[in-house]
Amino acid sequence: MSSRAESVPTEVLSDVAPSTTEFLAAVAARQLVGRHRVFAGVGLPTLAVELARRTTNPDVELVYESGICGAQPEGLAEGIADSVLVSGAAAALGMPALFGYVLQGGHVDVGFLGAAQVDRWGSLNTSFIGDWDQPTVRLPGAGGAAEIMPNAAECIVVLRRHDPGSLPAQLDFCTSPSPARAHAEDPRMVPPGHGVSTVITPMAVLHRPDKLGELVISEVHPGHTAEEVREATGWNIPVADDVRETRRPTAEEVRLLREEIDTVRLYLR
């Protein structure tokens, strides 16, 4: 037997830019380690869950707002009511049962939410941008987010932009209030869930460790600095004492996303 220690191959890291879907999906997938049931929409959340299932968390279970629980789709869904979601699913429930028993019953570990704006407390705007009477942009609205926010154990948000418009000091409209905002409105009101715990942007990963606290910069993506992230945020966001550089996706994670998960580039862009 050779006396020399055998070399252990190291993972090859990719060079995809932090603004790419591959980078954001890989970072989001890491947040799902140790989580079991994820309430998510289609798009980037689906990519993240599928990637986690093939790498760090094979037991993760996907729940869709249309009533599908334990989804194991044979292909990527184009909407929450896509028939492909029923293939291999553990159950197909009516929406009252899904929201009343699964979500409000405390059986969802992570809610994967989208937003146009996120404030320092983790409240979300998915309604409109601009003035109430004459908005410049009309958005889809709440969907199930108003129920997911207070009832999921925690929520993760992925933003495609990082600027004062998407992370403003004050939301143009509050569609989904965080536990902190709900508590401020009524001190007796403390929702069971943590609310938004993580926000992933093209520049950084923001965490909110305190249920009633603010977001802080915990990771900065390669090529960016904490000061750049602060300048691109609409309020004086704190920097964590142990802030670190975000680990790049591996070449294998990028390959899985491109060659096995989203081969037709339905969501990758």
User: How far are the Cα atoms of 39, 113, 202, 240 from residue 32, in angstroms, in the given order?
Assistant: 12, 14, 19, 21
Spatial separation of the C-alpha atoms in residues 188 and 185, rounded to whole Å: 9
Q: Which amino acid is at 39?
A: F
The yes-or-no answer on residue 65 being catalytic is yes
Is the distance from CB of 192 to CB of 215 less than 8 angstroms? no
Q: Give me the catalytic one of 65, 147, 154, 253.
A: 65
Spatial separation of the C-alpha atoms in residues 169 and 181, rounded to whole Å: 14
Looking at 123-250, list the stretches that DSSP marks H as alpha helix, in order from N- to C-terminal side.
145-151, 179-185, 226-231
Place of tokens 């197909």: 92
Q: Which amino acid is at 100?
A: G
Spatial separation of the C-alpha atoms in residues 218 and 92, rounded to whole Å: 38
Q: Which amino acid is at 108?
A: V
Is the distance from CB of 129 to CB of 137 less than 8 angstroms? yes
Place of tokens 């997911």: 148
Kindly state the tokens that stand for 13.
């890291």
Spatial separation of the C-alpha atoms in residues 255 and 43, rounded to whole Å: 18
Residues 6+ apart with CB under 8 A from 65: 39, 41, 80, 95, 98, 143, 144
Place of tokens 């926010």: 149
> Which residues are tagged catalytic?
65
